[in-house]
Amino acid sequence: GAVVSQHPSWVICKSGTSVKIECRSLDFQATTMFWYRQFPKQSLMLMATSNEGSKATYEQGVEKDKFLINHASLTLSTLTVTSAHPEDSSFYICSAKTSGRPQETQYFGPGTRLLVL
Amino acid sequence: AQKVTQAQTEISVVEKEDVTLDCVYETRDTTYYLFWYKQPPSGELVFLIRRNSFDEQNEISGRYSWNFQKSTSSFNFTITASQVVDSAVYFCALSEEGTGGFKTIFGAGTRLFVKA
């Protein structure tokens, strides 16, 4: 099956620093990538949708200047948490979708745990 | 608007018991897709099943079975003869192509504890 990787899997940083998380589709071209955030014991919440070569579409309540998303190629999307604060500590999960059939299928990455001290 | 409701927050069963996880969804679209995912403590989502809105056939895969009923907008998941390894959080999800593009919404999740 299709594989999506995320790097890093764990990151601990100091408050005020920026953190970049990479999401790669390893064996298919991902025309659309999604970024989710999951707080402990909660569900996955969609943060933004990015299409290759276009600006990301952010969900209501998600600060686009805080969470920078770049989808520069068909296999890579990055999420940068700028000036991270402890409340940004969360589990970030990306997923990727191809333009071909089955169009409704998303492939999820293993997630990145961010801890901001 | 899309909505997925998993009313059961936590379920605790003893090994070998059957357990059903409920999922109710809301959508205005006639074409949509329903999913179940398992999230073990490691956090990585494990895909279990996908159903499209035109396929109401129930499905059985080993100890897992799914009951999709459009009349009640439900897509329930049953684990037969549960095992300790089934302990995880299970998410029901709904995908559709809306005006804002393709989007997947997750339910709140049901945490399943299977005790030996």
The predicted pLDDT at position A27 comes to 86
Q: What are phi and psi of B23, to 5 degrees?
A: -145, 125
Could B105 and A97 be called an inter-chain contact, meaning their C-beta atoms sit closer than 8 Å?
Answer: no
Dump the DSSP string for A60-90. TT--TTTEEEEEEETTEEEEEETT--GGG-E
- Of the pLDDT bands very low, low, confident and very high (cuts 50, 70, 90), residue B65 is very high
Q: Which among B50, B108, B109 has the least Cβ separation from residue A104?
A: B50
pLDDT above 80 for A1 = no
Q: Do A108 and B52 touch (CB under 8 A)?
A: no
- Of the given ranges (B5-14, B27-36, B74-83), which has the lowest mean pLDDT? B27-36
Tell me which of B4 and A30 has the higher pLDDT: B4
A71 touches B: beta carbon within 8 Å: no
Residue B100 has pLDDT above 70, yes or no: no
Q: What is the pLDDT of residues A34-72, one digit of tens each?
A: 999 999 999 999 999 998 888 899 999 999 999 999 988
**Segment A81-108, tens digit of pLDDT:** 999 999 999 999 999 987 665 556 788 9
The reply to whether residue B104 touches residue A113, judged by beta carbons under 8 angstroms, is no
Cβ of residue A62 closer than 8 Å to a chain B Cβ: no
The SS3 assignment for A102 reads coil
Mean pLDDT value of segment A21-37? 92
> What mean pLDDT comes out for the span B43-58?
89
What span, in angstroms and rounded, lies between the C-alpha atoms of B24 and B75? 6
Spatial distance between the Cα atoms of B66 and B23, rounded to a whole number of angstroms: 11
Nearest-by-Cβ selection for A110 from B44, B50, B106: B44
Q: Among partner residues A91, A95, A106, which is closest to B43 by beta-carbon distance?
A: A91
Residues of B in contact with A111 (CB under 8 A): 43-45
Evaluate whether B50 touches B95 at the Cβ level (below 8 Å): no
In this predicted structure, the answer to whether residue B102 has a pLDDT above a threshold of 60 is yes
